[in-house]
A and B are shown apart, each in its own frame.
Chain A
Amino acid sequence: MMNRREVIKNVALMLGGAFSAPTLMAMDNWENATKPNGSVTAFSLSETQQKIVAEIAELIIPKTDTVGAKDVGVPAFIEMMLKDCYKTPEHQSFLEGLASMEKVKFLELNTDERRGVLKLLEQETKKMTGKTPPFWRLIKELTLLGYFTSEAGLKASFEYVQIPGKLELIKLKPNQKAYAY
């Protein structure tokens, strides 16, 4: 499924990231910034909630032959991002999601059962039409962001090129990893 916001963002970056890209105003920020009362409340997680977040993040990006979400500090990253970059509606949505995880005693389930819960959650999330991103969407997005931009996660996943020095049209080799810059 196309992540339209991402497409627009990619083009925005092509256009140099800052001014002049027509598509650039992608786009959530604009809406957030112009909301009259985007209230911000304090946000923090209890120890149990932190554990649930860590376990879900690790199920999304598990340790395999490469590092997993927990190894690179994704759980703490998620909490920091929610606190610093999200507002009350997202905080509530996230906490509600955690409450339902507590209700199904997520931490007491075995790995297969946990996976089952997340699959169900994923299907339920698709039916939601509200404006505020649901819990699954938030935790998945922040897990991927935290992992794939962490030093160990990025270097393990992609071919990291800090300074390309040239621009070249190339043919992809079999199994070639994506470049990250």
Chain B
Amino acid sequence: MNLNIKANKNNTFDAIVVGSGMSGGFAAKELTERGLKVLMIERGHEIKHIEGYDTAMKQPWEIEHRGRTTNLSAEERWANSRFWGLGSEEVVNHLTNDKENPYIEKRPFDWIRAYHTGGKSMHWGRQSYRWNKQDFEANAKEGIGIDWPIRYEDLEPWYTHVEKFVGVSGQKEGLEVLPDGHFLPAMPLFAPEAHFKNKMMERFNRPVTVGRVANLTQPQDIHTSLGRASCQYRSKCQRGCPYGAYYSSLSGAIPAAMRTNRLSVLHDSIVSEVIYDEQKKRATGVRIINQNTMQTEEFFAKIIFLNAGSINTAALMLNSKSNRFPNGFGNDSDQVGRNLMDHQLGSGATAMIDGFEDDYVYGLRPNAMYIPRFRNWGNDKQTAYLRGFGYQGGASREGWSRGVGADGFGADFKQGLTKPGAWTISIGGFGEILPDPNNRIYLDAEKKDKWGIPMIVTDAAFVENDWAMRKDIVASAVEMLETAGFKNVTPYDRPTHMGLGIHDMGTARMGRDPKTSVLNAFNQGRLCGESFEEERFIKLIATNGCYIDILLAIN
């Protein structure tokens, strides 16, 4: 439903939501369901749920390069293709052309972007965990960054609200470190994973659970009423799900907002500025540039939600200068763009598993197992670093590609590869990164993009705490796989930049003091010495736990 915006003389809505991704979609849903007329503005092109997933039903041989990244994709998607698989023609057209949307890396940052309806909610890994109580308290206790002005208890009802709507499959475990949520039936652990789980509990007292994943294992009315169906276990989620089985803005929030008849969506419209009215002392609207026609236009609302992703949201605020805000909208604290965080990934270990030859699986599980944080938790005290990490990973049987590294060729070799291979396992860590004001994005003083908007500069890197944790991610992975009795345990640790976790967050932190934070406890922009305004921003993260809390981002 694209309203003819121009016909609306005032271009005025009750609320404007900038961005249609995970948090923008949810904001639009909640606002429209409460009776507000909402304009959602998406900078990228339109993708329609189901019919826009052009590769979803393609068979292996219909993918010309069989999932490999072509040189052309690697050149055009120079940032996106740093992440494995994102340069593949299965998905590449849904990821941003970095050549046309460049940014400046003062320090390298792997910025993965998907400028289209639904944004990265179409591509996310769907793992959905709640933070625990300590995640909210750690900054205050350890004197890191600033304290969260909210606690787990404040968010608990919202976690449930979001989980019910989204549909999260998982196993209740009763763990303090990984609070249970409102779950659909869990997917099974495979036989060697169940063995691993038992060993870890027996030897380390470390729980292992199946991943909590936003794929519908048993759709409820709240899901089917939006046309969402059960997971078909194809595990081709990254192409977009024609069954709406995993949650995205496209399959969930946007259709929910649409059915209220109160949502208008504008595509191809880059919000270049938040308009601040010096008389009214409030933000009154936004200015957009059509990415194709270069036409500019203004839209107005009492409530403005900025859900453009951590980096673009901060950039938009920094670019919104006025007499009142010479350094960027809401930036009295000089914290906008700072404390950019991610989760480190790319380190862990792999192993071969003897036995379980008779165990096999029908269907592909779009999920794996999860090992919650055990470091600096309970009685564990690390001297080398603060906070901790969790592992994702799992076991699988080798396929034909085991033949690539194996000796042999010819008829028997060919025949042998048609059988399932040995079980293997891999686990990899997601490590928490501490907030650091020197890790930031800012706007280049001179260089502009093709729409005349100042270019974004990334200036962030891992620090000592991160590297020390990373060493332990590898060492502990090796220790756990060896303890489980697996063979040929091999550590891996790839060089990475910040950003590759695709959990970019921070940049507009929430806090108790307007002098040091961008947002108040209600996610509203704050102005030193003035009352709170109505603008709300979603990118509130003041600390980051060791897993992405997409539920929190939605909240």
Interface residues of A (CB under 8 A from B): 1-4, 6-27, 29-30, 32-34, 38, 40, 59-62, 64, 66, 81, 84-87, 115, 118, 122, 137, 140-141, 144-146, 148-151, 154, 157-158, 161-172, 175-181
Contact = CB atoms under 8 A, between A and B. Distances in A.
Nearest to B78: A33
B232 A15 contact: no
A176 B61 contact: no
Among A22, A85, A148, A179: residue with most chain B CB under 10 A:
A22
A122 B406 CA distance: 10
Interface string B359-382: 111111111100000000000000
B59 A162 contact: yes
A4 B71 contact: no
26 contacts: A2-B488, A4-B350, A6-B404, A7-B350, A13-B235, A17-B90, A17-B235, A25-B494, A29-B83, A30-B496, A33-B74, A33-B81, A62-B411, A66-B414, A85-B69, A148-B400, A149-B60, A154-B60, A165-B233, A166-B233, A167-B361, A168-B361, A170-B360, A172-B357, A180-B60, A181-B364
B393 interface: yes
B429 A22 contact: yes
A14 B72 contact: no
B143 interface: no
Contacts of A17: 85, 90-91, 235-239
B127 A148 contact: no
Nearest to A2: B352
A178 B448 CA distance: 53
B187 interface: yes
Contact of B365 (A34, A40, A137, A167): A167
A169 B350 contact: no
B428 A22 contact: yes
Nearest to A172: B360
Contact of A14 (B61, B83, B238, B394): B394
Contacts, number: 302
Contacts of B337: none
Given A6-B398, A6-B402, A169 B84 contact: no
Given A4-B490, A22-B393, A27-B84, A122 B410 contact: no
A34 B394 CA distance: 28
Interface in B114-136: 120, 123-127
Given A8-B426, A20-B392, A144-B403, A169 B190 contact: yes
Given A11-B394, A12-B85, A32-B74, 9 more contacts: A16-B126, A18-B123, A18-B124, A18-B237, A20-B548, A118-B409, A165-B233, A166-B363, A167-B365
Given A10-B399, A12-B85, A64-B415, A21 B366 contact: no
Among A10, A38, A64: residue with most chain B CB under 10 A:
A10
A64 B363 CA distance: 29
Contact of B59 (A151, A170, A171, A177): A151
A25 B363 contact: no
B401 interface: yes
Contact of B419 (A25, A59, A177): A177
Contacts of A3: 398, 401-402, 404-406
Nearest to A32: B74
A30 B84 contact: yes
Contacts of B235: 13-14, 16-17, 181
Interface in B59-79: 59-61, 63, 65-66, 68-72, 74, 78
B231 to A, nearest CB: 8
Nearest to B430: A22
Given A17-B236, A84-B70, A60 B410 contact: yes
A13 B392 CA distance: 12
B84 A25 contact: yes
B471 interface: no
A21 B125 contact: yes
A10 B61 contact: no
A41 B182 CA distance: 54
Contact of A59 (B83, B410, B427): B410
Contacts of A66: 414
A30 B82 contact: yes
Contacts of B70: 84-85
A20 B124 contact: yes
A7 B424 contact: yes
Contacts of A170: 360-362
Contact of A25 (B90, B191, B345, B488): B345
B233 A169 contact: no
A153 to B, nearest CB: 9
Contacts of B421: 178
B545 interface: no
Interface in B408-448: 408-411, 413-415, 417-421, 424-430
B359 A169 contact: yes
B148 interface: no
Interface in B207-260: 211, 213, 231-239, 246
A25 B347 CA distance: 10
B87 interface: yes
Contacts of B40: none
B309 interface: no
B418 A177 contact: yes
User: 8 shortest A-B CB distances, which residue pairs?
Assistant: A20-B125, A22-B428, A18-B238, A164-B363, A23-B428, A17-B238, A10-B396, A167-B363
